[in-house]
Structure 1
């Protein structure tokens, strides 16, 4: 089996020394360094082609909710609080679960594409639709009973009532998520990302326009905001379906098939593992906010940590772009039985994302007295946020590496393992340490954040260790077994395997 990846720097140095003893070491070393640079640049371009659009798609879709909140904020304080709670608690939960379940396609479609099993991509997407739509149906009671649920959590009666009304009206968005994410992963696994990004950007622009018409001009209120969100998400879905049926996927999409209902048991298992893995990461930040809210006089601490987390979320989207890119690259190369190429891609992606994280760290540390002013003019909040700047900068560095390694896990199909690691590092270590530092040792918000940082550090160290010790040849054989298990043929085919 041929493997055309570049030798590591250690191999190059060793080879150079050997050749040097023969009298021609320096020219050979320069030649190999040139090849390494060329291959690194080529790999970076492949990653960037996926990561750039993935970053923009995440920002556009994330901003749909922000636009809704911005327009609803002009309706009144109660409306703003109701939509904020419904969006962050109810919709955020559903969004995370369905996105996580759809992420199983990053493993399966990516490996099938790498192996040249193009006809299975459409089948996998249909299986994912079956699972995510059923999951959405199971989650829908949460939307229906939002009001009594919030009242049971001792939320304001007026806010709970209004959030419940809003949640019922946005149920169509729940099923839009279920339909949307498998289509995105189907396209992403084939590096067809530009059109998806354009559709998301156009959807965001349309969403802002419709909110302006229905809320600012026609004054349809909270129901209008919900209906506009439904329209936006289903227009995005309709545009993606048109792209799917346009003939751009002649091999990957051959129409609906009864194969979509085969091997659902093992498919559900991987989908659930993907959902748990993602949700455990998303809920970690929510749990930290809850801990901060339990401090004495929590208003100042919550304001400061909210500013830091908002900034962290925006920078995290860049790392998530590399997460998407490396999951595609690893799954494609493993499916094509090119394990060394997968390993090389991991190195390039990790170093690239880490470099960006270091830049963010430097910017935050050097502007810690300035960046809080973007979010607030309150002197005490600015001062408290500046105290957290050093911890924020370290978190940014860790979160530039951790999503990439999680992407490697998705590409290789390690979701179950990573879910267990997340439970241990985040919930059995990070949160207890944060609670201990914050409450027992009276370090307050800095202690809670330090615990979160410790959990992230432990997780990153474990993921780095696993990645370094991975037998990539074995992972390529496992990818081949995945394809056989879920309906593909045993051997790589077509261009992807060449």
Structure 2
């Protein structure tokens, strides 16, 4: 792709007229003075939001499919809400974490290959990922089939376990949709083709909301109607995205189905597994919070209140994952193109915006703290429990918005293995035990469990900031070149 821009700064029109941003533009020079800083910040902001805007909308829309079903479930009954919360958060959430995590290997490989101009490999990478994730889905399906005994084993009540177990069986088609959806997402994302994903997700969200209202409340089919609609909505997204890919809109990145997708699978499995472990440990973290709530007094109230808070936190986290997706594209593209200073500056810009957005969300939550619980549940006891947890929820919004952006930098640079070890230490060796001590030993209840686990997130975020600050980005660019060649 030719680029006639002589300076290292692209205009907004340049951004809109180019398929991607690494192009042949040289790496940015060292920042020299406040005017240079402001100018470069404006350029990088435009590049970031060009990607982040549609990415945020797409992730929020796709997450909202389950969240909307859960919201309607709150108006069906407390047991129904608790059962769907467990099935959606524990069973489907466990699988979602694995699928998104393993597919995130494509963010490193496709992003760096695209930056280096090796477009023909993107389609092969996507097909390899789909093969691996479909095989993983066959294995994960047993968790859905035996969901009831699994939930009983980890201490959930008889009523919730049986209701959630029946629901999990109906959610199996959604599992296989994950296996195709997320590799396709990463394939399109690496090429900055995020707008089409947002259009498809918007259409799915509108259909899902209307059909959920119709089947769950109007036709009185309850949660079973909601789960059927949820399966339909996910497969609608998968089919629409695949139709776009095979239509020829991706150019050299898609040259059709290839037997090459079955070669070198083991090397791909290793990176996918490392990516899966890294992201799963993050996504499962607050699922653990809901599980522990099942051991508290007034279990249905505790689980319902926490599920509403984690529902809201999940929506906010999807915004953060939008930043995660955009910065992984920026970092991987720039490292693949041999632009280490641009990659580093992109990281700084995304952290600043993540913090600003998080503070705005926390302020909005504070303004409407006496009103929003009624949207999610009719029970006054549940509403009061949610209101009491609002300060912790607001603090979590801020911390959980910065951390995924830094994780996106890690994915773009290919640090998945190292970050997985950090996640294990901060979350599960430190955060979870501290939460159990505060919640059960010191009898702080839900607030204690949440406080301990949030402390683990804070420590992990501090470590990520330290790693990013000390990274030799020139060396990372060289390693990206070696990875692509291999």
Query: TM range, normalised to the smaller chain?
Result: 0.7 to 0.9
Match runs of 1:315-464 below 5 Å = 315-364=316-365, 388-464=389-465
Paired residues in the alignment total 463
> Against the structure 1 CA distance between its residues 447 and 213, is the aligned structure 2 distance closer, same or farther, given a 3 Å change threshold?
closer
How much does 1:415 deviate? 0.8
Distance in structure 1 (CA, Å) of the matches to 2:441 and 2:405: 34
User: Which residue of structure 1 aligns with residue 184 of structure 2?
Assistant: 183
Alignment of 1:37-436 (within 5 A): 37-70=38-71, 80-153=81-154, 155=156, 160-212=161-213, 224-296=225-297, 305-364=306-365, 388-436=389-437
Structure whose alpha-carbon radius of gyration is higher: 1
Q: CA deviation at 1:393?
A: 3.3
2-structure distance, mates of 1:161, 1:107 = 40
1:4 maps to what in 2? 27
Kept in 2, the 8 Å contact 1:69–1:84? The answer is yes
TM-score by length of 2: 0.86
Q: Distance in 2 between matches of 1:456 and 1:110?
A: 27
Distance 1:383 1:161 in 2: 27
Say if 1:101 and 1:271, in contact at 8 Å, map to a contact too: yes
Out of 94-103 and 338-347, give the one that drifted further: 94-103
The TM-score normalised by the length of structure 1 is: 0.84
Consecutive unaligned residues in structure 1, runs of 5 or more: 13-31, 486-498
Following the alignment from structure 1 to structure 2, what is the Cα–Cα distance between the partners of residues 288 and 214?
31
**Cα-to-partner distance string for 1:429-453 (whole Å, 9 max, x where unaligned):** 1122222233333444333232122
Q: Would the aligned equivalents of 1:203 and 1:232 in 2 still touch at CA under 8 Å?
A: yes
Between stretches 355-364 and 234-243, larger displacement belongs to 355-364
Mean Cα deviation higher: 317-326 or 201-210: 201-210
Contact 2:278-2:420 at 8 Å conserved across structures: yes
- Structure 1 CA distance, aligned partners of 2:115 and 2:435? 43
| CA distance, structure 1, for counterparts of residue 216 and residue 451 of structure 2 | 42
Tell me how far apart the structure 1 counterparts of residues 310 and 226 of structure 2 sit (CA, whole Å): 26
Alpha-carbon distance change, 317 to 234 in structure 1, aligned in 2, over 3 angstroms:
closer
CA gap of 1:384–1:73, structure 2 versus 1, over 3 A, is: closer
Cα distance in 2 for residues equivalent to 1:154 and 1:456: 25
Map Cα deviations across residues 182-219 of structure 1 (whole Å, 9 max, x no partner). 00110011110111111111112222344455556666
Q: Larger deviation: 321-330 or 242-251?
A: 242-251
- Please state whether the residue corresponding to 1:246 is helix, strand or coil: helix
Cα distance change on mapping 1:143 and 1:305 into 2, 3 Å? closer
CA distance in 2, matches of 1:336, 1:231: 40
Quote the Cα distance in structure 2 between the aligned partners of 1:435 and 1:153. 15
Deviation at 1:370, TM superposition (A): 5.8
SS of the residue corresponding to residue 185 of structure 2 reads helix
Deviations 1:24-80 (A, max 9, x none): xxxxxxxx5333222211111111111111111122112222343455667666655
Q: Residue 126 and residue 378 in structure 1: after superposition, are their counterparts in 2 closer, same or farther (change >3 A)?
A: closer
Query: In 2, distance between residues paired with 1:74 and 1:309?
Result: 18
- How far apart, CA to CA, are the structure 2 residues paired with 1:479 and 1:418? 17
Q: Which runs of 5+ in 2 are unaligned?
A: 1-23
Moved more, 244-253 or 373-382: 373-382
Flag the 1:145–1:323 CA change in 2: closer, same or farther, 3 A.
Answer: same
Aligned residue for 1:271, secondary structure, equals helix
Asked if the contact 1:6/1:344 (under 8 Å) is kept, the reply is: no
| Distance change >3 Å, CA 313–CA 234, structure 1 → 2 | closer
1:144-188 CA-to-partner distances (Å, cap 9, x unmatched) read 222343444565556545544433333222111101110011001
Corresponding residue of 1:482: 483
Distance 1:343 1:172, change over 3 A: same
Cα contact 1:98–1:132 (8 A) shared by 2: yes
Give SS of 2:253's match.
Answer: coil
Task: Report which stretch shifted further, 155-164 or 86-95.
Answer: 155-164
In the alignment, the residues of structure 2 paired with residue 5 and residue 277 of structure 1 have an alpha-carbon distance, to the nearest angstrom, of: 31
**Range 270-279 or range 337-346, more displaced:** 270-279
Aligned counterpart, 1:469: 470
- Pick closer, same or farther for the CA change 1:126–1:149 going to 2, 3 Å: same
How far, CA to CA, are the matches of 2:386 and 2:75 in structure 1?
27
Distance in 1 (CA, whole Å) between partners of 2:316 and 2:151 is 31
